[in-house]
Structure 1
């Protein structure tokens, strides 16, 4: 009896020790990754607010802006997988340093744009330079956390773009309003400068604070390093190599392509709305400052709802219907937005519903790759999915611009977005319902 009590007490102490260890790891690495992703989102989407003034100052048409907004994703797609293969060999610190220095400089250089060609080139290069960031960060998390502990750091990491979405509007409005004319620069030029240059500082911070893997973390004790390595050893996540067989193993799994296609369909309307929502609101007679402030409300709803949905999903252990419900919520929100073209309050409420669905659905979607891929193939699997998802960024902003130009408004594009969201759930369900998952695992 005493022996059993001793073993129980020893097990409880080990659990407490592990909890303390991973809190220590989380406190060290997650805030840095979060800040990097936060600024990444700001620099990727600030053009949506800059466009409110760039359009008049530079004479850019809607298709020019739409194509420029989309070109960043061409760069991402072209270099996402190569960047992650390099990351697996040289480590995250060097990769992040290279990404942030080059993307920060390129983002700040957007302030010097005068022609569509310059706009296109810089947007494409920003995509090239930031390629590999998100899947690389997710892969990095697998190096530090065993499978059962990855949910929390991933969820925390994915709050960064949502939080950036909350402050991006007010920040952009403030820079464009209060810095307009300072130093002979327009407000939209200051927007690019003020959100691009901090990335240079953050690059040095990340390089100093992060370690490439637990065995190289001098801020952990020898016993702590050994404990982390033992916990992750089963999935071989400490190996930083990738060969042809690993790639083929990933590519043969149909769930990889279903996750990619589901996200592609869902993200087309999400990317479209991300870059065109400020224009939609300004078209209702709002000032730039009002657009910036009001844009924060849907983002706040997205963050709060995604946390609640994720918490309920974790408590129940159910993922599939949480994704489907969230995606359909976004579809309904988009559809309802078309009903109130001149009512600002009702339009904002519909956008809040839409973003609650968008953010929750995308967070749910990313709970599935970690259940399918691990070890050496994880970085490649995540990169392939991210590339497919990134392709939606090519279609969404530019496609919406073409539809808006052809029809004179946003109604048809919002209808189209609703249909695509419904289609994503129809493709997703047969492969990720509980019954389908069990059947596929038994077949394997």
Structure 2
């Protein structure tokens, strides 16, 4: 089997209970120049990939403003249809990442993009709750492996001290997806009714599902699988880059493991997966229901789309600053815990008042917390997942976490159906999100007491 290059990022420093690990030597000017070239060449494309992925998995939240009534969906049915995406994603995520390791990121990520774009467009022809749920499940199958595949790919290109910053650039796809797509979606919903005999929500899926198909061609032609095959680097830069990444691999192996079997036996993988589960509950509950939370104040769909960008604009700025601060201080644990608590508090603020201003403030606080904690979370498995075990390890953590992608939207919809109040859905999310920082805190105490974070 052809293995993807080593998974080489790792926790660094000793602050706030972070496990000390071997540090790489100072990066030479030649290595720094090669890394800079890689950043400018690869990151815009990686960002665009995740941006389009997040648009196509989350635009159903905006489509719901008119689609739910047209298809006769209850809040519970909508929550189920949204959440079932996660089970398709989970079932095929580990196999997808194994195939990525075999065939290379360039080919496999392009394949993922074509299939999810086609299925996203097909959602325009859903006839009811059943067909919509089937298409959402298939969308999850098509997109399976994308997020951990991209994270794994980035770790083959960037040394550990760069990773929180790099991950924050990649994760900018989430706020940018909302900032770009929400106003466009709102405009489509208000202005494309019965154009060509289709409803406006159908046009939303058709228009926003097509770009990934085009970008897949660019990904296949432009993406480079590993530093050693980068023709756009000079021979000296390629050699220096390769040696740097090999040293990162050796440093990580002194505190971790590389085997796929060992990864499945490591309780840290399962605890991190559970922590991510509660984070994803909040993430998906917020993302898919935010348009309807805002719509309760009787705004037009266009205004809902515009207002929905505010939390993500603020969150994007906060995320970049916070991730950069995490890299500078070499601290990860509290850089995850503190924004996770803010994530929870924001839900309470949004629910506690009927004022649209207070509610938007709460949604903004939650979005800031969510966007700040997730890139830092991606650095947490770094000290023990290496080589062939890393692709599967990341996929397993992501798969466990993405189970929350079903429960977040579904539990909010069920709560609203049972109580008739959207605020109660926000209170539920605030409680569930708190389990994530609690688990990470307990794990950080454990790894201070037991060598190797076991």
TM-score exceeds 0.5: yes
- The separation in 1 between residues aligned to 2:174 and 2:289, in whole angstroms, is 17
When residues 313 and 58 of structure 1 are mapped into structure 2, their CA distance, relative to the original with a 3 A threshold, is same
Q: Which of 55, 77, 93 does residue 42 from structure 1 map onto?
A: 55
* CA distance in 1: counterparts of 2:131 and 2:416, whole angstroms: 24
Gaps of 5+ in 2: 1-24, 251-256
- Give the equivalent residue in structure 1 for 2:365: 353
Q: Quick one: which of 417, 441, 445 aligns to 1:405?
A: 417
1:173 counterpart residue number: 186
- In structure 2, the CA distance between the partners of 1:359 and 1:214, relative to structure 1 (3 Å rule), is same
Query: What is the DSSP-based 3-state SS (H/G/I as helix, E as strand, rest coil) of the residue aligned with 2:421?
Result: coil
| Cα distance, 1:232 vs structure 2 | 1.4
Deviation at 1:115, TM superposition (A): 2.3
Does residue 229 (structure 1) correspond to residue 239 (structure 2)? The answer is no
CA contact 1:235–1:375 (8 Å) conserved in 2: no
Corresponding residue to 2:121 among 86, 93, 108: 108
1:415 to 2:427 alignment = yes
CA offset digits 1:177-224 (Å, max 9, x no partner)? 233332222211111111111111100000000122222222223332
Identify which of 192, 196, 212 aligns with 2:205. Answer: 192
Q: Which residue of 1 aligns with 2:343?
A: 330
Offset of 1:429 from its aligned partner?
Answer: 0.5
- 2:99 alignment counterpart: 86
Q: Answer yes or no: is 1:299 the counterpart of 2:312.
A: yes
Checking the alignment, whether the CA contact within 8 Å between 2:124 and 2:205 is kept in structure 1 is yes
SS in 2 for 1:144: coil
Counterparts of 1:15-414 in structure 2 under 5 Å?
15-236=28-249, 246-341=259-354, 343-414=355-426
Whether 1:439 and 2:452 are equivalent positions in the alignment is no
Task: Report the Cα offset of residue 245 of structure 1.
Answer: 8.0
Shift of 1:226: 2.0
RMSD: 2.0
Partner in structure 2 of residue 5 of structure 1: none
Quickly say closer, same or farther: Cα 1:195–1:274, change in 2 above 3 A: same
In structure 2, C-alpha distance between the alignment counterparts of 1:251 and 1:235, rounded to whole Å:
23
Is the contact between residue 161 and residue 327 of structure 2 (CA under 8 Å) also seen in structure 1?
A: no
User: Which shows bigger deviation, 407-416 or 39-48?
Assistant: 407-416
Give 1:425 deviation, angstroms: 2.0
Residues 212/316 of structure 1: CA separation in 2 closer, same or farther (3 Å cut): closer
Give 1:227 deviation, angstroms. 2.0
Instruction: Report the TM-score when normalising by structure 2.
Output: 0.89
1:183 and 1:442, CA in 2 relative to 1: closer, same or farther beyond 3 A? Answer: closer
Aligned length: 424
**Alignment match, 1:241:** none
Contact 1:269 1:414 in 2 (8 A): no
For the residues of structure 2 that align with 1:117 and 1:442, how far apart are their CA atoms? Answer: 47
Contact 2:31 2:244 in 1 (8 A): no
Q: Tell me, yes or no, if the aligned pair for 2:333 and 2:444 is still in contact at 8 Å.
A: yes
Larger Rg over CA atoms: 1
Distance of aligned partners of 1:215 and 1:114 in 2 relative to their CA distance in 1, 3 Å threshold: same
Displacement of 1:296 in angstroms is 0.6
Asked if 1 retains the 8 angstrom alpha-carbon contact of 2:121 and 2:205, the reply is: yes
* Distance (whole Å) between structure 1 residues aligned to residue 402 and residue 419 of structure 2: 26
CA shift, 1:313, in A, is 2.3
Q: Deviations over 1:346-368 (max 9, x none)?
A: 11011111111111122222221
Alignment partners' CA distance in 2, 1:147 and 1:427 = 24
Q: Distance in 2 between matches of 1:148 and 1:352?
A: 29
- Which runs of 5 or more residues in structure 1 are unaligned? 1-10, 238-243
Residues 216-263 of structure 1, C-alpha deviations (whole Å, 9 max, x = no match) = 2222233322222211123559xxxxxx98122212322212211111
CA contact (8 A) 1:145 1:228 kept: no
Spell out, residue by residue over 1:255-290, the C-alpha distance to the aligned partner (whole angstroms, 9 max, x if none). Answer: 212211111112212211211111111122111111
Structure with greater helix percent? 1
Question: How far apart are the structure 1 equivalents of 2:124 and 2:416?
Answer: 26
**In 2, distance between residues paired with 1:419 and 1:400?**
12
